[in-house]
Each structure stands twice: as structure tokens, then as C-alpha cells.
């Protein structure tokens, strides 16, 4: 296996799929010769030409509409939205067109092979226009898949799976891990099944659930809890839509407790949907209320980023409160 950071893993996934699929195009703001603002598409235009990796105008709605057009004609379209904060102008195209294309045509047409890649989340001092986590907005939309990797190996395997999937996928990339996360990545064809969570660490006292960059936070909190004799089971959801209810419910029935951590604000965050479902599935097994450790219900604050983040200390304190309930 090769040692890569997350950006290199994403680049390798795109390159290998472009080699295998001559209909695949990669496009977005500055993704061509410049290689994207984070350099995730570096070298692709030089390798595959300007017809298959190219810049678009600065219009997210236009990018999404163009992607729908390509995909509906049988091409594999991978569109980059430069920051997840700017995906909102494209919501009409994604939610009303991409997600419903197959349904409204009675399965005559579809936009399978369509992926929207976008960096999300804080931790880079980006302020309120470059730090948001909007994944929950899209989990309520039937017809879309929502995927979030936590490390380079997942970034490659989940991105390849997303590109090959016959449904439109929004692929959220935790940008604070782009260069910070380094690990072994399998060479060649590497696919991770969508819709399947991963039990990262087994435990017996409480289940900790998260995705993306927050998995590192959960691991740090679990290490603190272990020093107090608390055994934490850690699960990476990986795919938010559809999410793996069975794996989470099986864990909670074993531990009796659940803590969900995500960077998006508490109100309306995806943790609320998980909590409601697990309460229905595991009510008689719960030893304490399901806990949520999330971002604050405020615009993302530049100078108070540290206070906003659902960090390891907040998570550790919530673990103690749940176990001692």
C-alpha cells in the first residue's frame, strides 16, 4: 500500500476512474490547470485533456445543471463545488432535478454516475463562508446519496464507489483533513460499499457515532474515557443517506448508550434523525438518554471557532454524563 494524504487519495480515485471510463468528465471552478483551490484535481487536465477536466464559470447552479445534462445523456459527471458553503445556489438543481430525475421519468431516464464533490467543515479559520457543514440539508431528499470519508483509504474507496453508483451522490470531503490525514491506501481498484457503517473500535459501555473529521475527535474522547474505565464502541457512519441503522442499533443494544457527534449545528442536524430512529429501535435497551454533541446554533464564528467546535473535551464530558446518568 502507498502512503497518501486525503487529497492524493481523491486525486488517485479520480484519475483511475477517468482511465477506466472514457465518458467521465471532471469540472468545476478552477479545477483545470490550477488543480482546484485545494489541488485535489491537480494534473488531471494535463493527463486527460481540456475536454475531460475543465473550468466552469462561477455559478454553482450552472455547474449542477450542466452536470445533470451530462449525466442524463449517459456520461459520468463529477462536479466540484469549491466549498460546501456555496452549494446552496445549486440546491434547486440538486434537490429538484438530480434527485428526482429517475422518479419523474418512471425510470426511463436517470442521472446515475453523477457525483458532486465538495469540501465541508471548519478547523481552517475559514469563517462563516468557508466552514459550514450542510450535509443534513440533503439527507431529507429521496434519490440522493450522501457520503463522508474520514481518512485517505476511505476517500479513495468511497469516492470510486460513488462514481460507479447508479444514483446521484453528494461526496462531502472534510477539508481540515486534506493534508493532515495520512495513511495507507490500497493500490489499484479499491471500493468501499456505500450505506455500510464501520465499527472502528469495539466497546461495552457506550456507543460513539460520527463521520468525517469528527471521528478523530471521538477517538480522542474515547481515550480519555478509557482512563476512567469506560469502554467506548466507536462507529463511523460513512454514508449518511442511506444510513446503516442495523449496525448502529446492534451496537446500542449491546452498550445501552449512544452519543452522536457532528460539526453541524444541533438543531435540525442529522443527529436528531439518528436519535429518533435509535429510540424507536432500542427503547427498551437504553440506559440513558441519547446524547448529541454538535456545533452551536449560530453562524460559524471566526474568532470563536474553538468554542464552536464539538471537541474531544465536550464529547468526553457528555460520555461521563451518559454513563453516570
> Quick one: average pLDDT of 288-295?
98
Name the grid cell of 33.
490547470
Mean pLDDT for the stretch of residues 164-175: 98
- Region 144-172 average pLDDT: 98
Whether pLDDT at 182 is above 90: yes
Kindly report, residue by residue over 71-80, the tens digit of the pLDDT: 999 999 999 9
Q: How far is CA 129 from the centre of its chain?
A: 18
In the chain, pLDDT over 90 holds for what percent of residues?
A: 100
Give the pLDDT of residue 286: 98
Q: Which pLDDT score is estimated for 303?
A: 94
Q: What sign has the CA pseudo-torsion 195, 200, 201, 206? A: negative
Q: Is the pLDDT of residue 118 over 90?
A: yes
User: Span 117-137, mean pLDDT?
Assistant: 96
Is 130 annotated as catalytic?
yes
Q: What is the mean pLDDT of residues 246-269?
A: 98
Q: What is the pLDDT of residue 145?
A: 98
Distance between CA atoms of 48 and 230, rounded to whole angstroms?
52
294-322 average pLDDT score: 97
In whole angstroms, give the CA distance from residue 216 to residue 177.
Answer: 10
Stretch 33-49: mean pLDDT: 97
pLDDT score for 1? 86
- Looking at 130, 135, 262, 263, which residue is catalytic? 130
pLDDT at 300: 96
For the stretch 248-258, pLDDT in tens is: 999 999 999 99
Catalytic residue among 12, 29, 60, 263: 60
Query: CA-to-CA distance for 135 and 294, rounded, in angstroms?
Result: 13
Q: Has 60 been annotated as catalytic? A: yes
Phi, psi of 240 (to 5 degrees): -90, -30
Which residues, other chains included, contact 229 with Cβ-Cβ below 8 Å and sequence gap of 6+? Answer: none
Amino acid at each position: 500500500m502507498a502512503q497518501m494524504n486525503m487529497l492524493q487519495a481523491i486525486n488517485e480515485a479520480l484519475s483511475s476512474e477517468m482511465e477506466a471510463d472514457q465518458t467521465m468528465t471532471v469540472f468545476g471552478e478552477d479545477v483545470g490547470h490550477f488543480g482546484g483551490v485545494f489541488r485535489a484535481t491537480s494534473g488531471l487536465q494535463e493527463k486527460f485533456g481540456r475536454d475531460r477536466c475543465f473550468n466552469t464559470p462561477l455559478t454553482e447552479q450552472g455547474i449542477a445543471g450542466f452536470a445533470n445534462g451530462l449525466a442524463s445523456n449517459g456520461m459520468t459527471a463529477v462536479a466540484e463545488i469549491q466549498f460546501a458553503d456555496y452549494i446552496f445556489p445549486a440546491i434547486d438543481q440538486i434537490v429538484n432535478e438530480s434527485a428526482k430525475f429517475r422518479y419523474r421519468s418512471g425510470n426511463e431516464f436517470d442521472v446515475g454516475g453523477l457525483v458532486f464533490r465538495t469540501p465541508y467543515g471548519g478547523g481552517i479559520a475559514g469563517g462563516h463562508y468557508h466552514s459550514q457543514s450542510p450535509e443534513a440539508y440533503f439527507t431529507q431528499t429521496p434519490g440522493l446519496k450522501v457520503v463522508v470519508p474520514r481518512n485517505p483509504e476511505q476517500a479513495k474507496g468511497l469516492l470510486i464507489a460513488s462514481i460507479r453508483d447508479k444514483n446521484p451522490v453528494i461526496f462531502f470531503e472534510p477539508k481540515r483533513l486534506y493534508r493532515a490525514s495520512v495513511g495507507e491506501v490500497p493500490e489499484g481498484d479499491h471500493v468501499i460499499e456505500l450505506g455500510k457503517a464501520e465499527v472502528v473500535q469495539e466497546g461495552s459501555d457506550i456507543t460513539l457515532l460520527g463521520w468525517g473529521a469528527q471521528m478523530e475527535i471521538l477517538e480522542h474522547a474515547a481515550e480519555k474515557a478509557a482512563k476512567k474505565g469506560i469502554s467506548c464502541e466507536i462507529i463511523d457512519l460513512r454514508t449518511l443517506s442511506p444510513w446503516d441503522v442495523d449496525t448502529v442499533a446492534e451496537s446500542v443494544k449491546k452498550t445501552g448508550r449512544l452519543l452522536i457527534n457532528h460539526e453541524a449545528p444541533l438543531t435540525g442536524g442529522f443527529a436528531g434523525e439518528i436519535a429518533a430512529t435509535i429510540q424507536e429501535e432500542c427503547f427498551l435497551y437504553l440506559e440513558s438518554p441519547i446524547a448529541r454533541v454538535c456545533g452551536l446554533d449560530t453562524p460559524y464564528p471566526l474568532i470563536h471557532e474553538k468554542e464552536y467546535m464539538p471537541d474531544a473535551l465536550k464529547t468526553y464530558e457528555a460520555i461521563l454524563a451518559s454513563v453516570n446518568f
